[in-house]
């Protein structure tokens, strides 16, 4: 018995690719301009969550549309390869790979878009499995309510999840009912720090009223960089931060604002952010005043004298007055270099280390 394997022709591949492109075009219009535009509010995560909660069918249809788009992209990549193979096998393979790379990038973008799901519904026994439940389970496990490994981060709100919620509610002083009502938890993509609490227990709270202020949990220093010093520092530069106790710690410039601001004194400045290389060095400090030293130029193994030791010469330039072993003094012409911390770098043909310099 003989079996013949027939390779797809360019005509059939072109037909499949053309139909695939047509379907992809329709699905892309629906997913991007109908689903996303109808659900996602770029200015409010709360509005987005409410839209998803109210339009579950539309939300799931959008996900299925994107899944179909991914599959069609793979089919189209195959079709491109078959169509262009008679012309150039190398270029046809390259075009197919480009299409597959595009598909992967699109998939990553969509996963990111739908990945960090905000709380949009009450969660309890019987609720449909979902990413929000999985996020809740992961948080419970990380907080130590994993019930000795019984809580599985699988997006299913089961008896073990309910027991963990009850234990957490009891410790938090919340109503112990095993139900996480909408508004009781907030999912955020990263950890934050509570900077201040604006309400006390028992105070009335109106809808939309701010009850606490949060900030990043990272330790950093904010510097007002004067406009005239903007060219002296760049992102990535190393600086030294002097803490309130006088300790110097190394740090790195991580961000410099591009828009000038004006302070109360009318001086223009750019906001610069500095991150400590060792954040533990500033444990316990909160909005503490510090000094940031930026080294724009440095010199080592040079002669230096106090700035006040410089003597201006009538013919121009500077000199320093040195005292000899016999007590007599004389002026030695010098050229100045870097200035720092009240001292100045000096050079002179007759100047030597160890000479006694007169300071007025």
Q: What percent of the chain has pLDDT over 90?
A: 5
Residues 2-23 have a mean pLDDT of 68
Q: Do domains 119-189 and 220-294 have the same CATH topology?
A: no
Residues 54-73 have a mean pLDDT of 78
Judge whether residue 51 has pLDDT over 90: no
95 membership: H or E segment, kind and range: helix 89-115
Select from 184, 189, 187, 192 the least CA-distant residue to 214. Answer: 192
Judge whether residue 1 has pLDDT over 50: no
pLDDT digits (tens, 9 = 90+) for 83-124: 777 777 777 777 777 777 766 666 554 544 444 567 778 899
- Find the Cα–Cα–Cα–Cα dihedral 282, 285, 289, 295, rounded to 10°: 10
How much is the pLDDT for 276?
A: 87
How much is the pLDDT for 44?
A: 53
What is the C-alpha to C-alpha distance for residues 42 and 63, in angstroms, rounded to an integer? Answer: 19
How much is the pLDDT for 111?
A: 41
How much is the pLDDT for 115?
A: 41
How much is the pLDDT for 30?
A: 84
What is the C-alpha to C-alpha distance for residues 303 and 343, in angstroms, rounded to an integer? Answer: 10
What is the C-alpha to C-alpha distance for residues 351 and 345, in angstroms, rounded to an integer? Answer: 12
Q: What percent of the chain has pLDDT over 70?
A: 88
Judge whether residue 59 has pLDDT over 50: yes
Judge whether residue 2 has pLDDT over 60: no
pLDDT digits (tens, 9 = 90+) for 153-180: 888 999 999 999 999 988 887 889 999 9
Per-residue HEC secondary structure of 101-147 comes to HHHHHHHHHHHHHHHCCCCCCCECCCCCCCHHHHHHHHHHHHCCCCC
Task: Answer yes or no: are the C-beta atoms of 346 and 336 closer than 8 Å.
Answer: yes
In 3-state terms, the chain is what percent helix, strand and coil (to 5)? 40, 20, 40
What sign for the dihedral angle of Cα 32, 37, 39, 45?
Answer: positive
Distances (CA, A) of 41 to 35, 50, 52, 95, 117: 12, 10, 11, 36, 14
Judge whether residue 299 has pLDDT over 60: yes
CA 81-85-90 angle, 5° bins: 85
Please, which pLDDT band fits residue 14 given cuts at 50, 70 and 90? confident
Residues 285-308 have a mean pLDDT of 82
The pLDDT mean for the chain works out to 80
First to last CA, the chain: 112
Q: Domain boundaries in the chain?
A: 10-115, 119-189, 220-294, 303-357
Fold of 119-189: Muramoyl-pentapeptide Carboxypeptidase; domain 1 (1.10.101)
What is the C-alpha to C-alpha distance for residues 267 and 228, in angstroms, rounded to an integer? Answer: 10
How much is the pLDDT for 125?
A: 94
CATH of 220-294, one of 3.30.70.2200, 3.40.605.10, 2.40.128.280, 2.40.30.170: 2.40.30.170
How much is the pLDDT for 217?
A: 67
Task: Answer yes or no: are the C-beta atoms of 122 and 98 closer than 8 Å.
Answer: no
How much is the pLDDT for 62?
A: 78
Please, which pLDDT band fits residue 26 given cuts at 50, 70 and 90? confident
Which neighbouring-strand residues pair with 331? 321
How much is the pLDDT for 9?
A: 67
Residue whose token pair is 């109360």: 264
What is the C-alpha to C-alpha distance for residues 56 and 37, in angstroms, rounded to an integer? Answer: 15
pLDDT digits (tens, 9 = 90+) for 206-262: 777 887 787 776 778 888 888 888 888 888 888 888 888 888 888 899 888 888 888
Please, which pLDDT band fits residue 41 given cuts at 50, 70 and 90? low
Distances (CA, A) of 307 to 248, 337, 338: 25, 11, 11
Residues 336-353 have a mean pLDDT of 86
pLDDT digits (tens, 9 = 90+) for 261-276: 888 888 888 889 888 8
């Amino acid at each position: 018995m003989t079996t013949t394997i027939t390779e797809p022709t360019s005509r059939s591949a072109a037909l499949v690719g053309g139909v695939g492109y047509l379907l992809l075009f329709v699905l892309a219009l629906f997913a991007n301009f109908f689903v996303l535009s109808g659900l996602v509010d770029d200015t409010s995560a709360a509005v987005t969550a409410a839209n998803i909660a109210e339009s579950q069918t539309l939300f799931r249809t959008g996900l299925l549309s994107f899944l179909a788009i991914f599959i069609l992209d793979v089919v189209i990549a195959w079709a491109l390869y078959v169509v262009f193979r008679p012309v150039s096998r190398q270029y046809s393979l390259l075009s197919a790979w480009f299409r597959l790379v595009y598909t992967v990038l699109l998939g990553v973008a969509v996963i990111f878009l739908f990945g960090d799901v905000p709380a949009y519904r009450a969660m309890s026994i019987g609720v449909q499995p979902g990413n929000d439940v999985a996020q809740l389970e992961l948080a419970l496990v990380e907080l130590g309510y994993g019930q000795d490994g019984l809580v599985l981060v699988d997006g299913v709100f089961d008896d073990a999840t309910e027991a963990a919620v009850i234990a957490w509610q009891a410790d938090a002083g919340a109503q112990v009912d095993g139900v996480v009502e909408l508004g009781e938890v907030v999912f955020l993509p990263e950890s934050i720090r509570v900077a201040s609490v604006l309400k006390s227990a028992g105070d009335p709270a109106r809808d939309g009223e701010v009850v606490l202020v949060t900030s990043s949990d990272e330790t950093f220093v904010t510097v007002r960089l004067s406009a005239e010093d903007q060219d002296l520092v760049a992102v990535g530069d190393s600086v030294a931060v002097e803490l309130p106790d006088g300790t110097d710690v190394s740090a790195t410039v991580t961000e410099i604002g591009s828009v000038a601001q004006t302070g109360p004194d009318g001086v223009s400045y750019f906001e610069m952010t500095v991150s400590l290389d060792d954040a533990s060095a500033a444990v316990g400090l909160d909005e503490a005043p510090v000094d940031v030293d930026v080294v724009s130029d440095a010199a080592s193994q040079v002669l230096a004298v106090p700035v006040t030791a410089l003597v201006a010469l009538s013919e121009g330039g500077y000199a320093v007055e040195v005292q000899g072993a016999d007590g007599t003094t004389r002026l030695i012409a010098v050229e100045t270099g870097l200035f720092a911390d009240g001292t100045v770098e000096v050079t002179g043909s007759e100047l030597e280390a160890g000479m006694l310099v007169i300071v007025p």
